Every structure is written in structure tokens, then in C-alpha cells.
Chain A
Amino acid sequence: MKAPTTPLRTLLRKPIPHPYQFLPAVTIATSISHSHNATFSVLNRPPPNYPGHVPLTRLERAALALGSGILSLRDPHRGDLIAALGEATATPYFIHRLHRAMLSSLTGRRILRDRPRITSQSLNLPYLRSLPTNTVGGTYVAWLDREGVSPDTRADVRYIDDEECAYVMQRYRESHDFYHALTGLPIVREGEVALKAFEFANTLLPMTGLSLLAVGTMKPVERARFWYVYGPWAVKNGLKSQEVINIYWEEEMETDVQELRDRLGIEQPPDLRDIRKREREEKRRAKERANGNPAAPAVA
């Protein structure tokens, strides 16, 4: 493979362009059969199954996974790359697991029927701000405001062929911020990694597992905390709690966060922000002590 294939090339640019702009007249012709759909080559790409869908050949899909994987490790802030990596590795197997999980649940099936989208338009943000802070909605907006993000920062699904599975991926992606609210894990890298580990145990999506490679990029003390505290918590809770993909968030805004956790069987992990704050304090005091201020106590 000399030149990167089309989807990879589109990924190298930053804001995501319209997919068809980049469909080439001629590129490498591949005709490897593609999941259970009919075989096609890049020369006769089938029409999209839903608006924004880009049907890929198997080779292109592999290239997309490889390319987005490498690039996103180099630049972890590229949400679009992580999204593409998620889609490329979720098919053809793992997305079906998540799909099945939704189809096995009454609420999951309702979500699939209604297909709610989580955007700043679909959510009534002013109303959520008026909710008490212990509610799901209150916690969620507080989190959005603190992190300075909006519900609209999630990329659209493009590389998953089955139209319903594409929605499942979209829903999973859009629910991510609620998982923060539910677990209370902060958006800092350490919290994000713990949350990914939880999601991996809960959804088995390979991309969530791959993002655990980021453990290697953490500070030694954080890494130790991951192995001894958050990792074990994530695996235990991710496996034993109900599938978080089946939460109809739109209907749970007024619910008490703790009540929802109890219903799903999720224990709240130790407060990471707290721990980190204490740690910083301790460091500061140690520094002060070193600078000749023996009055400062040794422990926080």
C-alpha cells in the first residue's frame, strides 16, 4: 500500500469534509468481499445506506483502523480520529454485540424505535440548569459547563454499514458525557482512561480497550492508581452493572444520580478530583517544607 486510501486521506485533513467530495474517480481497485453485503470495489461503490454513510471495502476499513489508530495515538485530542477508529474496529462484530444488548432490553428497543439524538437542540439546557445538582440533568449540565463543552461536539457516524447499527454507534458516542456524570469521573486524562476501562468492560467495544494504551502515557502515580484503584473498579463495575447503552437519558433527567447508579448496580469510584487535589496540596506542602517552612504538617 503506497498511498493512503481515501478515508485515510480525508482524515488527514481537519475539519471533516463531506465524504463524497473525496471519493476518487480511480484509486486502487480492490474487490475483497465486504461483510455479508455484495462485493464491490472502489470503482462501483454502492449508494449510501443513510445520509452521511460511506461504504468501505474491507481493505479500506483496515487502512482506516490502522491509520486512525496510529494518528490518534500521536495526537490524542483528535476526536474525529478516535471516532473513526471506533467505527473501523466496531464492525463487523462488536457493534453487533452492542446492538444485541439494546435489542434484548425493553428500554433499548424503545431507544432504537424513537432514535433520540443528544444535541443542544434536543436537550433543553436552560431547563436542565434549573434542576437540582443531585439530579442526572443537573449533574450533566454542571459537567458540560465546567468542562466547557457542548453536546454538539460529537462526530456523525459514517463508516458503519448497517443503518441501525450506525445509530447504535451514534447513541453510544452521544451518551459518553452522561457516563461522566453517572460515574463522577472528571474529563482529565486519568478520569477519561478509567471511564474507558469501565466502558470497555461494559460494552466490549475494541476501541475503548485500545484507548487503554493511554495508560502507558500517564504519570507513574496515576498509573499506579489505575492499576490499584480505578482499573479494578472499572472492570468490576463495567461487567456487573447493566448495559449503560440502554439508559434512556432523556427520561432520566430528573432522576437522582445515586438512585440511577443503584438501579444499574454501579458503585461510585473514589472521587478522583478530590484525590488529585489532596495530592497537589501535599506536594505543595512538601515543597514548602523543603523551602524551610517546618511548621507545615506532614499529612493533609
Chain B
Amino acid sequence: MELLLLPGRQVRRPALKLCRTGSLRVSARIRRAYSSKPQPDIYDVVCVGGGPAGLSLLTALRANSATAGLRVALVEAQDLNKTRSWTLPPDRFSNRCSSLTPSSARFLDKIGAWSHVKQERVQPYQEMQVWDGVTDARIEFDWAQGATGSTIAYMTENLNLTSGLLSRLDELGGTTIFNAAKVENITLGEDTEDLDLSQWPIVHLSGGKQLAARLLVGADGANSPVRTFAEIKSRGWDYNRHGVVATLQLEDHGWGGDAMKIAYQRFLPTGPIAMLPMPGKFSTLVWSTTPSNAVLLKSLPAKDFIALVNAAFRLRTVDLDFMHTMTSGQDDELAWRLQHTSFVAEAIPQTVVGVQEGTIASFPLKMRHADTYIGERVALIGDAAHTTHPLAGQGLNLGQADVESLAKTIEYSVLHGQDLGTRMSLEGYNSERYTKNHVFLGVVDKLHKLYSFENGPLVPLRSLGLNAVNAMRPLKNFLMDQAAGKGVKLF
């Protein structure tokens, strides 16, 4: 049995068997018998990062009978007990929300996590209104008349998702969780008499604990220490923009009531502003804007912040620019400008009447793409592999698609008796996801650039583009199928 532990020599044996041996015990015995130095605990999969990506991956592995026998560990720097006990009254919402596409939701359902997510706090939406703040060209996404009930995406608080995933993972059991443990260092292991760990990553935790990983998964976010260890370069640029988020209260439940919720996005030269529906009268804001505007927004008293948000969906960009130079009085300025600005009330979100205390925050926006998602015994998923501008609301969904693909790749290795950590075994994951994400990040990046022009030759062209897409039902349906993950898979 001990032979099985020698990683260099067990390539043809199913990983499954290895795990059923209770390797922790065995390795402990080895350590006692042969070495005075501290020996690492050995795992098939060590996942660093307990965000949406990491938790989904472990849940997927544990929920699948083919991979449920793997020895898996999770390392998370934050206290996951806070996520476990996360609760908010029904009329309060966290400011970090993501729109989960139906394909992400289907995947979460498949791994048994969706029912652990508090459904009364999830808001599906059926329509999307996107328009150009400079030219007013507009594109509406909704399903053809009669096809009501079709969901474009589900607005979910990130914490609702992670606490649901954690609850499902706890229910499945079998995951060793190193909670509130920071990864301090990652090294390669040593070649001892009995164990050649020289190609294995060893994760050193803050308490001094060491974990050897047949496969080390980096789900550790944009500044991924795993990616750094693997010497995988991540390229891209900062948008010099911040995403300002807040939980808003509207005058009512939305123009379509609770049965027909609508997401809105207006492209302003500084970046898009999006208002996404949450249950009842609530909505979540994601406003990409310049760092200095973000500072101003965060400093304003509530009534002026609300006025600027209402202005951003209604007024001309010249008014908005001016109102960003004011340190107060936006409220009064908006009241005056509304008398001289024409718009169709039903085509824009209902008036914001409140902002929940403590929910205004901002994040720097970056576009980054790792050169590859895999190395020898290393795989990257989620934001560790790629970060994107939130204008398409897809960051988290790309991560879910990574997870689905990597879980499938691991399953294949297990079923075919391959070493799941080798680069060769991981190749399938990389080739399935890399190009798709690359195209997606590129398109989003170009969209951001295209819409940051206030004038110039591209402005009429882009509205022509929007209007043309709007007029072409088949193309629109195709795009919506993409968003909902129903059609031919492209992204």
C-alpha cells in the first residue's frame, strides 16, 4: 500500500485507491519512521481560496461519486465561520452581488448547492435595457412576446452564494478545511528515500502546517499567490476605473412589478452604470467610473449620492460632468435639470429614493489574463486566472465555467487511472477554457474602450451598431442565448 504514496511511480494507479488508503495516517507513519523533519500532509487536491470559485470546485468534487474519494483540502485566509453564519434581515442586502447566468445556476443545482442558497434573496430578471449615454441608442433584451418566464440571469449576493456553497460542502463532509489560515509560502517538496515530492507543491500555512498537493488549485483571487508560485505571468492593464457598488431602494418594485424584473445599463464616457434588480423595491448598483469620481461618490451625503445616481440614468453627460465637480447640492441641481431634460420614464429605472447605510464601496477595475491556467500540478480558476471589467457582469460566471471544466477534467483522470495533477492530465481544462475566456475578455475590453469615447467617428458607428442589433431579432436571440448559456456554446 505504501507504494501508492510514491507519486512518481503511481501514475497508472487510480487516484481513487490512493485516497481510500487514508493517506494522512500512512504519511504520519512514514514521518515518524523515517524522518525527523516535519513532513507535509499529502492531499490529492489542495484548493487555496474559499471564494465562489474555490468552494464550487470542492463542492463539485465532493458531490460527484467518481471524485468523492479524493483527499481534498481547502485553505482560506478569512474566517469562514462568518460566511457560515451570514444573515441579514429580509430588507437589507449586501453590496457585493453578481448576476448568475442560468448555466451557472444549473451547474450549482447539479452539485446540490443551489437549494442551499437562500432563494428568497435571489432575484431573477427577464429583461435588460442597455443604452448609450451620449447618443441614446438603445438595445433591449427580452424574450419574444409570449415566452414570459424566461430568465436572463439571477441576481445573487456573493455572500448568499458562498454561504450556500459552504453549507452544501459541510453537508457533504470529507473536506479538510484550514480556516483563517493564510498561505505564507509555496515551495517544491523534497526527494526523500521513500517519497519523491520534488515535483509536488508544498503549501506552508501561517501556523507552520505544510500540505503537499498532487494538484494545487489557485482559487485565490486576482493577486493569486498560487499563480506567483507557478511563475505564470498574468498580463493586462488597469482600467483606471473603480466599480462603485451600493444597495439602493427604489420608489417601487420596478416597471414590470415582481413578475418582470429589468436590469438597466447606461454607457457613460467614464464607464457604464448598471442597476440590477434585487427582491422587492431593492436594486444593486455597479457604477464604473474614474477613481476621483469614486472618491466623490463615497464622500457625498446620502441625498446627494442618490441624486447623482438618478442623474446618471437621466441627464446629459455635460450635466453629469458638472455635478461631479460639486461637493454638495447635487439634489437641488438634479431637480432643476430634470425640468429641462426629456426622457421616457418607463425606459429607465424607477427613481432611487434611498441607499442602505454602509453599502457604498468601490473596487479598482482591472483586466488580467494569466498566460496559461495550468502548470505541473497547478491549475488556476476564477479571478486567479482572469479578471474582467464588470460591464458584462460575467466575472463570477467565467469562474463557474472554469470550475465545471476542471471538475470534469479531474473526473476523467480519476476514471482513467491517470495522475490528476500532471500537466498532461490538465491540458483538457486549459484548452477548453483558455481561448473562450480570452475572446470574452477581449470583447469586453473593446466594448469598454468603444464606449469611453464622448465624440469622434466611433460614436455614430457604435449607436448604429446598437440600433442595428436591436432591430435584428435573430442576432439578439443568439446573444441572449449566450447570456443564458442556452445556445451554441461560444463563451
Contact = CB atoms under 8 A, between A and B. Distances in A.
A103 B319 contact: yes
Contact of A163 (B319, B336, B340): B340
Main secondary structure of the interface of B (DSSP, over half): helix
B322 interface: yes
Interface string B315-355: 01011011000000000000010001000000000000000
A247 to B, nearest CB: 18
A103 B320 CA distance: 10
B253 to A, nearest CB: 30
Contact of A113 (B319, B321, B336): B336
A104 B318 CA distance: 6
Contacts of B316: 100, 103
B134 to A, nearest CB: 11
A243 interface: no
A299 B136 CA distance: 64
A103 B336 contact: no
Interface residues of A, number: 10
Nearest to A167: B340
B430 to A, nearest CB: 50
B100 to A, nearest CB: 37
Interface string A99-115: 01001101001001100
Contacts of A164: 340
A106 B316 CA distance: 16
Nearest to B319: A103
B321 A104 contact: yes
B318 A100 contact: yes
Interface in B292-323: 316, 318-319, 321-322
A106 B321 CA distance: 12
Contacts of A106: 322
Nearest to B340: A164
Interface string A19-37: 0000000000000000010
Contacts of A100: 316, 318
B347 to A, nearest CB: 13
Nearest to B316: A103
A252 B322 CA distance: 23
Contacts of B321: 104
B156 to A, nearest CB: 38
Contacts of B336: 113
A106 B318 CA distance: 12
Interface string B145-158: 00000000000000
Interface in A90-126: 100, 103-104, 106, 109, 112-113
B274 to A, nearest CB: 24
B311 to A, nearest CB: 13
A238 to B, nearest CB: 20
Q: Which has the most chain B C-beta neighbours within 10 Å: A103, A112, A113? A: A103
16 contacts: A36-B136, A100-B316, A100-B318, A103-B316, A103-B318, A103-B319, A103-B322, A104-B318, A104-B321, A104-B322, A106-B322, A109-B322, A112-B340, A113-B336, A163-B340, A164-B340
Interface of A: 36, 100, 103-104, 106, 109, 112-113, 163-164
Given A104-B318, A104-B321, 14 more contacts: A36-B136, A100-B316, A100-B318, A103-B316, A103-B318, A103-B319, A103-B322, A104-B322, A106-B322, A109-B322, A112-B340, A113-B336, A163-B340, A164-B340
